[in-house]
Every structure is written in C-alpha cells, then in structure tokens.
A and B are shown apart, each in its own frame.
Chain A
Amino acid sequence: MPYFGSEETVKELKRALSNPNVQADRLRYKSYITKVIRYMTQGLDVSALFMDMVKASATVDIVQKKLVYLYMCTYASDKPDLALLAINTLRKDCADPNPMVRGLALRNMCNFRMPGMTEYIEQPIVAGLRDKASYVRRVAVLGCAKMHSLQPRTEIDGSLVNELYALLRDPDPVVVVNCLRALEDILKDEGGVVINKPIAHHLLNRLKDLDCWAQSEVLTFLLRYRPRNDDELFDILSLLDPFLQSSQSHVAISTLRLFLHLAAAHPAVQADALLCSSAPLLATCGAASRELRFAGLCHIQQVMRSQPALFNTHYKRFFCGYSEPSYIKFRKMEILVALVNDENVALVLEEMKSYCTDVSAELAQAAIAAIGRIGRTYSEKCLDILTGLLALKQDHITSAVIQTFRDLVWFCPQCTAAVCLTVESCVDYPQDSEGKQALLWLLGEHADQISSAPYLLEVYIDGLKTELSAALKMEILTAALKMFLRRPAETQDMLGRLLHYCIEEESDMCVRDRALLYYRLLQRGIEETRKVVTGPKSDPSLSVLTSAQEEPVSQWVSIFNTLGPLSAADLQLHNTALSASEHTDDTADTELLTEHVPVSMRDVSEAGVSLCAGAAVSPEAFEQMWQQLEVLQRQTVCFSGCAADTLQSALQPVHIQTLAFSPARALPWRAYIYSRGSGTLVLAELLQDDPEMLTVTIKQQPEHQQTVTAFISVLQSVLQTLNTGQMSV
C-alpha cells in the first residue's frame, strides 16, 4: 500500500533502532519496536529494518521477543538470507530451560515461510515432540504440519507420521487434537488421517476432557468413522448424547451432524436427535450475536427441509425484531412462510403485514411476496391485506403487490375474480419495469374479466416509443395479442399499430422477431393463433404439492454445519447438482413459460432423483451384468487424471461406489463404478486412453433415463472439481 512519507518513516526508525543510546534504554528500545509493528500492521513496508530487528531478538524480555518474532515471520519470505541470521538465536532458545521460551521459539521458527527452512527446523521439531512440557509438544506437533506445507511435494516421512499417530495417546488434550490436525494436513493426498476403531473409541472417550473448540473439531473428524455394527453404533450415540445439549452452540451442532451421519440407517434416531437439538438450535436464533443468529436460522431452514413441522409451535420465535439487520429478517420471513398453518395464520399474517411498510423497500417487497406465498393456501385473508396495501400508493409496494397478484393467479386460479376486481378498481399503477410487466400479463391473460383492460393497455402502447426495456415491449406484444383473441373489437386497431411499429421501427431484434412471429401467426388465421397463444398450460398445482414433500435427511446433511447453508448461492448449486435430471425433463415446459412462472416455482419442480450406494455389488456380479447389458449411453468428459484413491474418496460422498481401477499412470486407464437410484442399478466404466479425455460408458438395469442423467451430472461435477483441484496444485 503506498503510504505518504513511508521512506522517511522507515529511515527514521532505522536511525533510532541503531542508536546505541536507544538500545541501552530498554523501554525506549521496546517502544520503537512497537512502532515498527504498528506500521507493519497498517500496511507500510518496513522490511528494510530486518537487520535491526534481528539484533533486537537477542533479549530476555519476552514481550519484545514476541514482537520481533511476529515481525520476522511476516518478512522472512522476502528476506530469506537475513532470516537465516535469526535462526541461531531461535535454535538456542529452543533449548532454553523455560518451556514457554522453548515453545515460543519453536513455533516462530516453524512459521518462517521460506525455502530451505526444513533442514533447520527438523531436529528441533523431533526434539520438541518428546519434550516433557505439553506446551512444547503442542507446538512441535503443528510444526510437523508446517514443515510439510513448506515442501508439499516431498516424500512423507513415515516415522514422523507414526510418531504423530502414537502421540494421539498423549495425556494433554490439545496435543491429541493437534496430532489429528497435523496428520490431516500431512496425509491430505492420501485422504487424510485414518480413523480406525481404536482411534475412534479413544477419541470418544477423551471427548469430555477436551475444550469446546477441540470437541467440535474431533466430532468433525469422527464423521469419517463407520461403526461395525448396530451395538457399537448405539454405544457411540449414547456417549454423544450429552453433547447434543451442550451450551456451546458449535459443539451441539457438530454433535447433531455426527448423530445424523452415524444414524443414517435409523430415521427414527435421526428424528429424535433433531427433536433433542431443536432447543439449542432455537437458542442460537435468539443469541445476542446477530451473526450467530443468522447461522442458526440458516441451519433451521435445512432441518425444516425434512422435518417441516419441528418448529411449528415456536413460530413466534421467528418474528422479526425491529433492530435486526435485513439479512436476518429475510430468513425469518422465509421460515415463517413455511411454518404457517390453520392455527397461526392470522397472527403470522398480522406480523407480516407490519413488515410491508418497512423503511427498506427490499424488505417491504419481500414481505409482500411472502404474503403472496401464504396466499396460495389462505388466499382470502391474503388478498384483503394485499388490496389494502395498494391504497398506500407507494411505487415499490404497488409494484410488489401487482407481481404477487400475478403469481397468485397462476397458482390459485380461484382467486382470479377477486384479483381482477382489485386491478380494475386500482387507481395507482406500478412504475418500475417488473411491476409493469406483471400488470400487462394480468391484463392480457384476463382481459375478459377486466373491463377497462384495453384502455390501460393502450396507454402502454402509446408510450412505446419512449420505453427502453425490451422485456417490457415483449410483454406488451404478448398482452396485446392475447387481448385481441379475447376482445378483438376493442384491440384490433391498437394491435395493428403495435405490430407495425415493432416490425418497422423497433431496433431491438428480439422484440422485432417476436412481433414478426405474431404477425405471421395471425396470418395463419385466428383459430390457429388461439391454439398456440392460449393453449393449455401445465398444471402448477402439481408442483406446489410436491414442494411440501419431506426430503430425506441425507439430502442436506452433507452441507450441514458448513458454510453452505449460509450462502444461498451455494445452496442452489447443490440442489441443481443433485436434481439435474428432472430439470432436463422439464426444460421444454419451463422454457415456454419462463416469462410467467415465478422463480420459486421453478425451484420446486426440481425435486430430484437422488443416488444411493445401497448394498455392495461383488466384482463377479458386476462382470456378469456388464457383459449382459447393452450400452445405454457413452460420453466423453474432459479429465486430466488423478490418483485413484482421490477419485474414490471424492465419489463416495455422492454415493457412487468404486469397484476396481487399473494402477496409476497406466494407459489406457480404466475404472469401474456403480450406483443406485430410483430402484435401478447404474454401472459405468471410465476409460482414459487420452491424457485429457475420459470416456464414460453407462449401462443400467432396469432402464430409467432420469437416474442416468442424474448419475452423469453428479459424476461430471465430481470430475470437474477434481480437475480444478489439480489445476490449483
């Protein structure tokens, strides 16, 4: 960062630090060192002082030592030659009688991120692993991981790994956890630390000695362990039970995740665990820290995907506080919409109504949309509220209400009459593009029920020349055409003018093409046009029903207690990856309806086919089936190859099992994988005879195209992730 007068400041500091008078005065010397660190934090480059700072490290004052070490760790990579000078002092400190000094020196020496450090730190680390002070052992264990990260490509030192595994039995809990962390880092390429039965049981027994941070981390490591049988499983679960109620929310949530994961085959146990942890989850939603609240709300939304009724009685907890930031309010409104039932609908709607006049326009619009969603089930009450809001005559509210009306008419045809009546008597019309489009759609679609529709439309057609938005122009065209089919006498003239203008004068291609399309369609005759434009629509009520379906816990447990639920974008990605198949089936329908169908509906129509691993297939059975079955699909994927076990561990979480693969670096390289879904078994062969391309051959029994599509999309996304992972290495 360029800093005004920075050179001058550095020179001045250098002068002061090398001044023998300053060096003699301990306090003054230290204050200058503090100043250097302060500038460093602010982003000023003070690396020119390295020499003077190395000198300052030879001191008995621990505070000064710490400051100098901080400085050295920051700039060591820029000045490797000078940093070597400091190493002697550090190595000497590693043998200090005071364990604190030993630990401090070792930790900072390992933090020097520069090439060639390994030879200097290896010996102190090994000595540190056997130190009698737990503080030094903690530092040394992580030192191993740091040493490995300095030279990631070198061979893994087997004896060091063994020593770390042995240290898992260390009496100090932090050493134990650090061992897990270090092993995980060192063995990353081989799939991380191995949690076998003795280690898992040892960790479970030590769990209560650990502090909360270590607990939640160990619980995450334990996700890797699979109990051998149900007895062991239930022993583990009963051991974990008290942690579900931990006062530390992160421990409680980590425990819940482990519970759900372990009890994957016992839905009743999962349901019990969810019930049990609903209290800590709700408590996070009322936590003083608003960030924690947000995280809690996002996770409650996940839980509600499979247990929509779990929080029914607590709906009041999701009323928004007026001082809460809007990102919390949005989540709360989403949850409230999902919790509405016959008993609470009146209270929830009254609450929602008070958000509609919020000072934030976005929040107000979201509240109106939320009322619209409730209106799909409780249309009468919601229509009253929405109609009342129109009287406020505020642009953003009117626009949101009209858009909500459009969606509501689409989902609940029975409220069409009421909506049309309201639109008819409406005095104030939306000013923004989305609102106008919604109004036009209503006018076109229900021209027969809105008597003033042609006059309203005419205003828009007359103002077409000054209109900028192409989407709006298309909407005008569609509305005019639909209206013409229903009320030809009043519309014919303006439709003619509109088509003439759009074909002759309009510069936007899309609008012109649409106008031409309608023009030619009309040439084919009215009946033909009617058939195309007002043809039967798909029945939206079907997908509303499916949205209420409860998803299995396995759908979301993999992202539970990760950043996924907190960032909405990731969540959507996750959904589409799992449900790609249905999406492709629906595209034909959805594309036709894209202009009218609200986004939320598209989401619900994608309830996906999910894969599951199921019972293992023996190699013999696989071979037999492979020979019998016909090739269903063949596809090439861009893939530059990776270690077989990496592939295996990447496929496992998405429920694709690996049966066999040829040794690494063999060409052609083959792997056989399989998975189950919707009652069928999918077999696949991955063949790589070109370093960049992978041929996937798929066979299936019995045939079910949707599962194959889902399988391919999941496989592709895994391979893609592996590809990008390789590139970043």
Chain B
Amino acid sequence: MISQIFILSSKGDHLIYKDFRGEASKDSINVFYEMVTALSGDQPPVVMTHKDLHFIHVRQGGLYWVASTKTNPSPFTIIEFLNRLAALTKDYCGSLSEKSVRMNFALIYELLDEMVDFGYVQTTSTDILKNFIQTEAVSSKPFSLFDLSNVGLFGAETQQSKVAPSVAASRPIMSSRGEQGGKNEIFVDVIERLSVVIGSNGVLMKSDIQGEIRIKCFLPTCSEMRIGLNEELNIGKSQLKGYSSAVRVDECRFHQAVKLDEFDTFRILKVCPSQGEQTIMQYQLCDELPCAPPFQLFPSVEKDYVNRVLIFLKLRCDLPPKSTALNVSITVPVPKGSVSMSQELSSPDQTAELQPKNKALLWEIPRFPGGAQLSALFNVEVPGLSSASLLEVGPVSMSFELPKQTCTGLQIRFLRLSPTQTGLSQRWVRYVTHSDSYTIRI
C-alpha cells in the first residue's frame, strides 16, 4: 500500500503531493530529494529507504514520480503503477512535462483521488475514470491550425500513403471544445526498439528487437476494432515454414482485453480500445535480424604525429532507398585527456563536438537517407598520447529513429472499426523503430 505520492521537478519543486494514510510527514519530500541528489552514480536509486519509509520512484518526462510506503510491497506493482500514472497524465494533459503538470495540477489531483484511496489502487482504466474526471485539461501547446490542415490534406483514405504529423497524438484525450475534440481519431503505432552489437569484423554479434503495438484512441466511445497483422506471421522458433518472406517473432503477449479467436488462423486482433493510450501487444525477436542492420561503420583509427589521433569514420545506411533515418547521433569514445578536435564533415547540417567530460566525440546527422554513405574525419588532440591510448577509442554507439520502418517486418494489413460505429473517424497507422542500444565495436 502506498503512503504518499508526489511528483517533483528535476529541480526539486513540489508539483503534486498527496498523502493517503497520514503515516509519514510532509518532510519526506525534502528527505527524498536530498537523498536522490546526494546519490553518486553507482547506487540503485529506484528504491531508497529512510528510517522505515521506502521511496520508490521512476523518472518520466524529466520528473520524479515517487511513491512512499511503510510496508514491503511488490516493486513491480508500484513501478508499473507510477508508470501508468505518468501515462494517464500524458493522456489527460496531452504531453508530459513540468509545464503541463504545473498547468494541470488540479486535474492530476482529481485523477489521483479516483485512482488511489487510502493507499490502495482503485482503478487506472480510462473507461472508468472518464466518468469521474471533470476538470478540463489545459494544453500547454495550443493545437496549431497548421497541423490540423495538414492532417486534413493528406488524410486520404488509404492507409499506406498518409502520414500523421507526430504532434497530432499529443493532445488531451478529453476535451469538450469543438475545435479540438471534434476529431474522432485513432492512432495505431507499431514501435520497435532495436538493440544491436556489431563486432569489430562487421559481424552481427547480438540483436534483439522489442516491439509493441500501441493504440491511442481519441474516440469517446469505441466498439470493437479489428486489427489485421501480416498473415504470414510466425510465432516461435519451431513454426518456420518454407522460404517465403515470412515475418517471425519469438513470442508475443497481449493485453488482457484483446480477443484472440481469429488470431491463430487469420492473425486478426479484436479489441475495444478505451480512450487514451494502451499497449495491446508486445513481442520480441532475439538473435536474429530479418533485415540488414540499418547502419554499417567502417572506421579507421590512427596515431598521427605525436599528440594526435586521426579517426576516420565511413558510415553507410543500409535502409531501402526511399526510407530515411532521423536524428542519427554517433558517440565515439576518445582517449582520456583529449583537449581539442577538428573535423571534416560532408555536409553543413551535420555537427560534431568533443565532450571532454564524457571523453567522447558526438557526431550528429539530422537526416540520413537510405543507401547513402557519409564519412567524417576527426583530428583529436591528445597530449601525452601513447599507442595504448588508441585502445580507448571505441566502441561506437549510435542512436537514431527510423520512421515508417519495422525491423521485424510486422505490418498492419487493415484496421476496421465495426460498422455500428457512428460518425466519421480517422484511423492512422504509424511505424517507427528506435535504437535502444546500437553498438559497433572498433
């Protein structure tokens, strides 16, 4: 059971504080903040204990979401609850930031009041909560008319061609005002997180894909929706048939509300989405990458003159030519004591900087089209360089975002709302792959 819940900004401002059981004093917020800021890097900060009070916290949207308790509860329950609280706050306020929490604190208090009573979780389902929540959300970002017209213009009927602007889904789920709430939209996102290690010889050493299908529903009421996945989707290792371009995942798990009676034969998920965001399916694929790894690196590291390291990186993007990787950033560890760097990049929109604090250089490429190859040359000045210092260069880690891409090849064939659904509704399907961890050894 939970004693208190509070939300703190990264600077320690009290944004939300609610005491459910009167067991602990209000001072505990300050105690918590002192503890969390006094931590050095190696202590596990998820659970902290002060006298007989345990603090469990998660960090989301740059905020601390903290629950305190005097009992010894299941950490999974508390952590998932705090994550759910953050997700609901995002649903109701549109986005998750210090500003949106500050502006909507009355709404969040109302939510908390209905979600938790006397330290016990009552409900977190938007279907139930929406009957009780009366406060209007204040959008921290006014919904731009420009975005709206964008959606209208490209919102053609076929799923393949249309592109929903990325901000379209970041608005409050409940709004009575016509110009905002008028749109009956439903977003189905296929999100994959890629974690890859490529050896120094270019061989794929580890690959791991964690995927999920997430629905964000703005429809006030929604009857059953049918989501068709690839028909040739195989689950598990044993079921590999033939040489067709089958899509395979190791295992998948579904939200308990998903009906699976047509899944085995037709790969159709049936679900009645409730308002807000929910994950209806999670899947994973380990030790296998159906497509080529999105990036290949050809590095060369040399010692030049006395005190200089020459790092030449050639990076190739192996995506199909029509695709593009966004916000690609490459981190290369450099020897300790590096003082300055000069670089030669191939285009002006790229940037590179040396971060002596992290002993790394950061190369950023905002857009990287598929099939392209970019190279960069870095001259790093290191006083007192020895040949052993070159061992410190590497491994290179990358982070990026691949819109309209799934590495497993999982696709949504169709998205049908039941015919009884009244009113016009917009349906959007979006695919994105994020790099969870993409490491290339040198």
Q: Tell me the A residues contacting B by CB distance below 8 Å.
A: 1, 34, 37-38, 41-43, 62-63, 66-67, 70, 74, 77, 100, 107, 113, 138-139, 142, 145-146, 149, 174, 177-178, 181, 211-214, 216-217, 220, 245-250, 253-254, 279-280, 283-284, 286-292, 294-295, 298, 314, 316-317, 319-327, 330-331, 347, 350-351, 354, 357, 359-360, 362-363, 366, 388, 391-394, 561-568, 728
Q: Which of A34, A100, A283 contacts B253 (CB 8 A)?
A: A283
A214 and chain B: residue at smallest CB distance:
B121
B413 at the interface (CB under 8 A from A): no
A142-B117, A288-B210 given; name 6 further pairs at CB < 8 Å: A41-B105, A178-B120, A246-B256, A287-B210, A316-B197, A321-B439
- A250 in contact with B80 (CB, 8 Å): yes
- Which residues of B from 52 to 92 have beta carbons under 8 Å from A? 52, 54, 56-60, 72-77, 79-83
Contact: B49 with A567, CB < 8 Å?
yes
Q: Is B15 an interface residue (CB 8 A)?
A: yes
Say yes or no for B436: interface residue by CB 8 A criterion.
yes
In the assembled complex, which residues on chain A have CB atoms less than 8 Å from the CB atom of B210? 283, 286-288
List the A side residues contacting B120 at CB < 8 Å.
142, 177-178, 181, 217
**Out of B26, B80, B205, B331, which one reaches A248, CB within 8 Å?**
B80
Inter-chain contact B134/A63, CB cutoff 8 Å? yes
In the bound complex, CA of A280 to CA of B80 (Å): 14
**Assuming the A-B contacts A145-B118, A247-B256, A321-B437, are A37 and B106 also in contact, with contact meaning beta carbons closer than 8 angstroms in the complex?**
yes
Q: CB distance A253 to B333 under 8 Å?
A: no
Binary interface encoding of chain B residues 380-395 relative to chain A, with 1 for a CB under 8 A from any of its CBs, else 0: 0000001011011011
A362 B42 Cβ-Cβ under 8 A: yes
CB within 8 Å for A562 and B76 given contacts A41-B14, A359-B359, A362-B42: no
- Asked if B254 is at the interface of the complex by the 8 Å CB criterion, the answer is yes
Contact B399 A284 (CB under 8 A): no
Q: Is the interface of B mostly helix, strand, loop or mixed?
A: mixed
B73 touching A563 by the CB < 8 A rule?
Answer: yes
- Asked, given contacts A70-B109, A357-B392, A563-B73, whether A41 binds B17 with beta carbons under 8 Å apart, the answer is yes
Measured between beta carbons, the chain B residues less than 8 angstroms from A330 are 42
Q: Is the CB of B110 within 8 A of A63?
A: yes
List, in ascending order, chain A residues with CB within 8 A of B72's CB: 562-564
**Which 6 A/B pairs are nearest by Cβ-Cβ distance?**
A321-B437, A391-B388, A250-B76, A322-B397, A247-B253, A213-B121
In whole angstroms, how far apart are the Cα atoms of A564 and B76 in the complex?
Answer: 12
Residue from B56, B253, B391 in contact with A392 in the complex, judged by beta carbons closer than 8 Å: B391
Query: In the complex, how many residue pairs between chain A and chain B have their CB atoms under 8 Å apart?
Result: 226
Q: Are A213 and B132 in contact (CB under 8 A)?
A: no
Q: What is the bound-complex CA distance between A253 and B59, given in angstroms?
A: 22
Asked if A354 contacts B395 (CB within 8 A), the reply is: yes
Of A1, A42, A321, A564, the contact of B195 (CB 8 Å cutoff): A321
Quick check: A63 and B135 within 8 Å, CB to CB?
yes
Bound-state Cα–Cα, A227 to B193, Å: 43
Residues of A within 8 A of B15 (CB): 41
A42, B13: Cβ atoms closer than 8 Å: yes
Interface centre among A142, A214, A324, A357 (most CB of B within 10 A): A357
- Report the Cα distance A292→B210, complex, angstroms: 15
* A388 nearest CB neighbor, chain B only: B391
21 contacts between A and B (CB under 8 A): A38-B105, A63-B135, A177-B120, A213-B77, A247-B253, A289-B60, A290-B59, A291-B58, A291-B79, A322-B395, A323-B399, A326-B42, A357-B333, A391-B391, A392-B391, A393-B386, A393-B388, A394-B336, A562-B73, A567-B44, A728-B52
Residues of B within 8 A of A567 (CB): 44, 47, 49
Most central of B19, B75, B208, B389 by chain A CB within 10 Å: B75
Cα(A181)–Cα(B118), bound, Å = 10
Taking a contact as CB atoms under 8 Å apart, the answer to whether B439 and A322 are in contact is yes
In chain A, what residue has the closest Cβ to B132? Answer: A100
Complex CA gap A181/B195 in Å reads 42
With A561-B74, A562-B73 already in contact, the answer to whether A113 and B41 are too (CB < 8 A) is no
For the complex, give the distance between the alpha carbons of A214 and B74 in Å.
13
User: Which residue of A220, A247, A388 has the most chain B CB atoms within 10 A of its CB atom?
Assistant: A247
A142 touching B46 by the CB < 8 A rule?
Answer: no
Could you tell me how many residues of chain B have their Cβ less than 8 Å away from some Cβ of chain A? Answer: 93
Decide if B416 is an interface residue (CB 8 Å cutoff): no
A322/B392 in contact, CB under 8 A: no
- Inter-chain CA distance A245–B14, complex, in Å, is 38
Q: Tell me the bound Cα distance from A74 to B113 in angstroms.
A: 13
**B251 interface contact, C-beta 8 A:** yes
Q: Quick one: given A391-B388, A391-B391, are A284 and B42 in contact (CB under 8 Å)?
A: no
Closest residue of B by beta carbon distance from A173: B123
**Interface presence of B343 (CB below 8 A):** no
Q: CB within 8 A of A292: which of B80, B206, B389? A: B80
Instruction: Tell whether B261 is near chain A: CB-to-CB under 8 Å.
Output: no
Residues on the A chain within 8 Å of B254, using CB: 247
CB within 8 Å for A149 and B132 given contacts A292-B80, A563-B73: no
- Contacting residues, chain B, for A286 (C-beta < 8 A): 193, 195, 208, 210, 284, 436
A528 to chain B, nearest CB (A): 45
Contact mask for chain B residues 134-148; partner A; CB cutoff 8 A; 1 contact, 0 none: 110000000000000
Contact between chains at B75 and A359 (CB < 8 Å)? no
Residues of A within 8 A of B205 (CB): 316, 347
B77 and A216 form a contact (CB under 8 A): yes
Quick check: is B21 within 8 A (CB to CB) of the other chain?
Answer: yes
- Docked Cα-Cα span, A354 to B21, in Å, equals 48
Does chain A have a CB within 8 A of B321? no
Determine the distance from Cα of A216 to Cα of B397 in the docked complex, in whole angstroms: 39
How long is the Cα–Cα vector from A288 to B194 in the complex, in angstroms?
11
The answer to whether A292 touches B253, judged by C-beta atoms less than 8 angstroms apart, is no
Q: Are A354 and B441 in contact (CB under 8 A)?
A: yes
Chain B positions within 8 Å of A181 at CB level: 1, 118, 120
Q: Do residues B81 and A213 form an inter-chain contact, with CB atoms below 8 A?
A: yes
CB-CB under 8 A from A363, the residues of chain B are: 41-42
Question: How many angstroms between the C-alpha atoms of A177 and B80 in the bound complex?
Answer: 19
Interface: B166 (CB within 8 A): no
List B residues 348-407 near A (Cβ within 8 Å).
358-360, 386, 388-389, 391-392, 394-395, 397, 399
Within the complex, which residue of B109, B206, B360 is in contact with A66, where a contact is CB–CB below 8 Å?
Answer: B109
> Taking A289-B58, A294-B46 as contacts, is the C-beta distance between A63 and B195 under 8 angstroms?
no
Answer yes or no: B282 CB below 8 A from chain A CBs: yes
Residues of B within 8 A of A566 (CB): 44, 46-47, 75
A566 (CB) vs chain B CBs: closest residue: B47
Which chain A residues lie closer than 8 Å to B439 at the CB level? Answer: 321-322, 354
Residues of B close to A139: CB separation below 8 A:
117
B294 within 8 Å of A (CB atoms):
no
Please judge, given known A-B contacts A174-B123, A246-B256, A253-B74, whether A146 and B118 are in contact too, CB under 8 Å: yes
Given A317-B208, A351-B197, also A211-B123 (CB < 8 A): yes
Given A43-B14, A322-B331, A359-B358: A295 touches B195 (CB 8 Å cut-off): no
CB pair A283–B282 under 8 Å, yes or no, is yes
CB distance from B249 to the nearest CB of A (A): 12
Whether B282 pairs with A254 at a CB distance below 8 angstroms is no
CA distance A74 to B118 in the complex (A): 14
A216-B74, A288-B193, A322-B331 are known contacts. Are A316 and B44 too (CB-CB below 8 A)?
Answer: no
Report if B342 contacts A (CB, 8 A).
Answer: no
Q: Is the CB of B286 closer than 8 A to any CB of chain A? A: yes
A42 to B437 alpha-carbon distance, docked (Å): 38
